[in-house]
């Protein structure tokens, strides 16, 4: 199998994460998927930002949930990375879906509800994906076990991934019992037994966040279904090298 290369928050080593600059770069480099994070504004608009506060990646302060979308969209979301990106802004999920729809890209949307459990986040995001007819190529992922349980009613229509960085006995069984049908794990959890057990249960395994040669090669060798990477251009090169070596 071929391990998919998924641009983590876009090509986030070369452009400010979760902005159109990073998404466009990831697409131009040839990534096969885009990963992004979604939270809710004060007026219940799903927006793409990783942190619960705007401090790290904008010129603002405070919680995402305390801003309206109009207020958020006026913040500078790029100068923290480099002055050349001063025009970057926080975008809505709707804008992102309109951009990605005509492109042949896998979509991973992480619901950022493990610290702030946003009310109705699952149904708001699901309904938007359904309206854009993007359910079949999207995975919804979350660290929040209760969120996975709430997504159970949608499981037949969309892939739901349990995200984890913690070692747990019988992790595959645990994720299945929650209602997940995919598993997204931190690199250090990857081992042949986990991959085999997950694949025996028809659960794709994708790995985060993989940016260096050795971990990438290990994931390719273990037949991981995908890797999330800040450097999709490197990952594509290393995957070609892996495939070449395999043929020798």
Active site residues: 8, 50
CA 193-242-196 angle, 5° bins: 15
DSSP string, 74-128: TS--STTT-GGGTT----BHHHHHHHHTTS--EEEEEE--SSS--TTHHHHHHHH
Burial of residue 195, with CB atoms counted within 10 A of its CB: 0-12 exposed, 13-18 middle, 19 or more buried: buried
CA 6-11-17 angle, 5° bins: 110
The rounded distance, in Å, linking the Cα atoms of 242 and 181 is 28
> Nearest Cα to 111, choosing from 39, 161, 190?
39
DSSP string, 23-45: HHHHHHHT-SEEEEEEEE-TT--
Residue 184 has which token pair? 């997204």
Which phi and psi angles does 81 have, rounded to 5°? -85, -50
């Amino acid at each position: 199998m071929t391990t998919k290369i998924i641009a983590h928050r876009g090509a986030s080593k070369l452009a400010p994460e979760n902005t159109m600059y990073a998404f466009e770069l990831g697409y131009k480099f040839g990534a096969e998927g885009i990963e992004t994070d979604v939270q809710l504004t004060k007026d219940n608009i799903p927006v793409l930002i990783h942190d619960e506060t705007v401090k790290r990646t904008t010129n603002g302060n405070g919680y995402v949930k305390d801003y309206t979308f109009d207020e958020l969209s006026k913040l500078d979301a790029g100068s923290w990375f480099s002055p050349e990106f001063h025009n970057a802004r926080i975008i809505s999920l709707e804008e992102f879906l309109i951009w990605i729809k005509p492109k042949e890209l896998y979509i991973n949307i992480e619901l950022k509800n493990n610290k702030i459990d946003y009310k109705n986040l699952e149904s708001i995001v699901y309904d938007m994906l359904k309206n854009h007819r993007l359910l079949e190529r999207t995975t919804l992922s979350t660290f929040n076990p209760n969120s996975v349980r709430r997504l159970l009613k949608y499981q037949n229509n969309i892939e739901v991934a349990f995200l984890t960085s913690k070692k747990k006995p019988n992790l595959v069984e645990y994720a299945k019992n929650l209602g997940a049908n995919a598993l997204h794990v931190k690199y250090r959890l990857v081992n042949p037994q986990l991959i085999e057990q997950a694949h025996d249960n028809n659960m794709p395994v994708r790995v985060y966040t993989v940016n260096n040669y050795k971990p990438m090669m290990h994931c390719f060798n273990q037949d991981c279904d995908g890797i999330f990477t800040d450097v999709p251009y490197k990952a594509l090169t290393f995957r070609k090298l892996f495939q070449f070596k395999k043929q020798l």
